[in-house]
Amino acid sequence: MAAKAAKTAKNRVLQTEGFRADALAARQLEIDRARTKRFPDLFEHKLERMSISPLGFLRGAAPLFYQLLEAHPHLAEGPPGEGWIVGDAHLENFGAYRPDAREDIRSGGPALFDLNDFDETLVAPWRLDVLRLTTSLLLGGRELGADGLVALSLADRLLDAWGKSAFDGEKLPPEPAPVRALIAQVEGRSRKKLLDDRTEVVRKKRRFVRGPRYRDLPDDIRMRVPAALEGYVASLPPAQRPKDDELEIEDVALRVAGTGSLGCLRIAMLLKGKGGRDGGWIFDMKEEAAPSASEFELRPPQKRGEEDLLPALRVATAYASCIARPPRMLGTTLLRYRRHNVSMLVRRLSPQEDKLDLRKLKSADLPSLASYLGGLLGRAHARAATKPPHSRWSSSDIVEIRSRAIVLAGMHEAAYLALCERMRRILPKSAKSKG
């Protein structure tokens, strides 16, 4: 009852003050303080990441996005179509990766470019993903070097390509030049380069470089890692399970990465792998929780398959449902932490996951890139559909999605500036004068 009352009060604030930028900024600060409570020093780090740009703010504000939709349900209305969605679709949740992490791939191996982050996934209406991705494109316009007219034109291309892919089964357009360059970059990077970028050799053994990216893991967590690793290995198909001697732990560290996920428990593991100074494997063990959209009342309560899954299993299931070739050795485990079992998604890192640098894109590449990203999202929706619509979305449906994205972009832009204003009052002088 208390939780329901708090939720009702929160919605009342967003309903009455939902378009007041300062109220939205205050709500975001409240969310971030709660999410970083276990690691308080990450609070400032997350705010700095979100202050980089309006798109950076959107990336770290998925809960606020869905709370706004809940408080203003007309913004979430739209045409039918349901299935596994990304839940946090935005321009920087696409990347190049190598799905096969086998040892025989050193360079020149096959790489792909696709959706690469399903932490917020759930079964829900497609329009939520389409709305969020379109909003991110409008907010990212300045980073893309596009004015408002160009940004709206790019949104039209994205929405058109999404529809052709989701409804018509149209093949993806040719890979844009930035995507081809990113794939080539990933294919040319060796495992040794991955190790050199993240680790250092101390007394002939590698360890993670402590600093902004990796920190010492608290002892009460570190001692639980071996048991969690065993659980992960048991979750893998037998053909993908490493040998016992390859799983010897060389080092573990607290990993600091992402924007929206800052504050969750994230553990980096350096395992023996093939042995020797350059034969180690790096694994990422990441805490998963309920998706941000789970509190959003999309329809009358009813049993949904994804609610019966452990959070990490939900994410792994979405990868397998939405992506034709998900990363190999993707598994789940439980880590005992302060009398609670924390659901963890585990994957082996390979020289991959390069993302587009929006500031380095050429204006001539933007139209084809917008179409390509829209096509990728449409393909994922079609592949993982649970309730496909009987007919294609109409042109007026698309116009409504774009119109609502414009409203949401304006709300997030204003909240971003209000957050920056609050940061000037609450952060140390060194942070306020940064840049």
- 77-101 per-position pLDDT tens digit: 999 999 999 999 999 999 888 877 5
Helix/strand/coil percent split, the chain, to 5: 50, 15, 35
Q: Is the dihedral of CA 113, 118, 120, 126 positive or negative?
A: positive
Which pLDDT score is estimated for 29? 94
Which pLDDT score is estimated for 121? 95
Which pLDDT score is estimated for 151? 96
The answer to whether the predicted template modeling score (pTM) of the entire model surpasses 0.75 is yes
How many helices (H) and strands (E) are present in the chain, helices listed first?
Answer: 15, 13
- Starting at the earlier edge strand, list the strands of the sheet with 385-387: 122-125, 82-85, 385-387
Beta strands in 209-352 (DSSP E): 214-215, 249-255, 266-271, 281-287, 331-337, 340-349
Span 325-369, pLDDT tens digits: 888 889 999 998 877 889 999 998 865 557 888 888 889 999 999
Which pLDDT score is estimated for 4? 54
Residues with pLDDT less than 50, the chain: 2, 9, 13, 16-18, 103-108, 299-308, 430, 435
Which pLDDT score is estimated for 18? 45
Which pLDDT score is estimated for 98? 81
Which pLDDT score is estimated for 310? 87
- Measured CA to CA, the distance from residue 374 to residue 162 in angstroms comes to 4
Q: Are 380 and 113 in contact (CB under 8 A)?
A: no
DSSP H or E segment with residue 66: helix 62-71
